[in-house]
Structure 1
């Protein structure tokens, strides 16, 4: 579906986990785009200008004492981003944005048939939400450069390594590799994979 066609279909932009929690972790120094909030902000402006519904999704892990524990105050949009009046803000405790929220009920109630997905992390919550949305029958557009991720250590590597040690390991998956894998996995099967410039025309 082209951008023009998509504009005629009731559409929502899902801003997934673009939250301060990630900026509190050492691993964010090695993120694919530590300033991804700027790209997301441009996408939010585009969606609002088209009249699309913008839905904000935050990830929380209550009682864990981690940066995702709401008690620490980091479960909020990255500075510079904020929901406008009337834009829903949902808090999830699962990887996808549907299972532990009323997202599908909200979309159904608004007559939404198409979704645009962006956020953190590319291969985790954003990709998982995109896959599930596709299976639920939504026409999904995944904006790759409005997502960001961090290096993924080898699962067999010992725990507790420093970021330097993780980055020095040749078996660590680099962010660029992860994003490319997600692009291949989603394109033509679960979503239209695009860039911010391709979607907005600017």
Structure 2
């Protein structure tokens, strides 16, 4: 048991925002669930991470009730849940202590957002000496407005702006940035063995 699955910010906060309907991965709950079940079957720890901003009166304020796993995901009693206040899952949490205590050297990372909390965690983990597998198709993100765009665009306004960074570009850029530097890129099928099963016959 030297590998841990880190599930980052797959929480209701994101689904409450209008832009969620533009998500890159409407199927993220099923994809993450497959990784969770695979880890459990292998006896690998699953560590759940949520993001909270207490007192902010935003979707990440625990007082509003959205800082919880998206429906369909289930934490077991023996699986830790840690809450972060930074983009990466290490800086404001005891994640590294948990991993060290369990003798973990390999991390599999999935969650929301691909280029933000997931990528930032992968980069820091690599710098800390962990071997990182980044499962892009078990992450999700939404289009990113141009730096000069007005604040609080509606989804329609966001998509109408030709400067908006589309989800396909975000996913590709994250993979280019991580692969060979900070992480190995894998798919859910590759990790769970579904590719081999499909190829039989």
Q: TM-score range by the shorter chain?
A: over 0.9
Query: Is 1:183–2:152 an aligned residue pair?
Result: no
Instruction: Verify the 8 A CA contact 2:34 2:192 in the aligned structure 1.
Output: no
Tell me what 2:67 maps to.
Answer: 75
Runs of 4+ in 1 over 4 A off after TM superposition: none
Q: Can you give the 5+ residue segments of structure 2 that lack an aligned partner in the other structure?
A: 195-201
Q: Which residue of 1 aligns with 2:134?
A: 142
* Partner of residue 172, structure 1: 164
Other structure's SS at 1:44 match? helix
Cα contact 2:135–2:188 (8 A) shared by 1:
yes
Residue-by-residue CA offset, 1:8-37 (whole Å, 9 max, x unaligned): x61100000000000000000001012311
1:14-64: per-residue Cα shift (whole Å, max 9, x none)? 000000000000000001012311100011001111110000000001111
Q: Residues 109 and 133 of structure 2 are in contact (CA less than 8 Å); yes or no, is this contact kept in structure 1? A: yes
Give me the whole-angstrom Cα distance separating, in 1, the residues matched to 2:158 and 2:110: 26
RMSD: 0.8
Aligned residues, how many? Answer: 194
TM-score by length of 1: 0.94
Partner residue in 2 for 1:194: 186
1:133 paired with 2:125, answer: yes
Superposed displacement of residue 160, structure 1: 2.6
What TM-score do the two structures reach when normalised by structure 2?
0.95
Residue from 36, 47, 59 that aligns with 1:55: 47
What corresponds to 2:199 in structure 1? none
1:31 aligned onto 2:23: yes
The CA distance in 2 between the partners of 1:91 and 1:192, in whole Å, is 26
CA distance in 1, matches of 2:75, 2:108: 16
Cα deviation for residue 200 of structure 1 reads: 1.4
Give the equivalent residue in structure 1 for 2:102. 110
Offset from partner CA, 1:128-169 (integer Å, 9 cap, x none): 000000000000000010000000000111113221011111
Alignment partners' CA distance in 2, 1:76 and 1:173: 28
For 1:19, the equivalent position in structure 2 comes to: 11
Q: Equivalent of 2:145, from 153, 159, 169? A: 153
State the 1:115 CA deviation: 0.3
Unmatched 5+ stretches in structure 1: 1-8
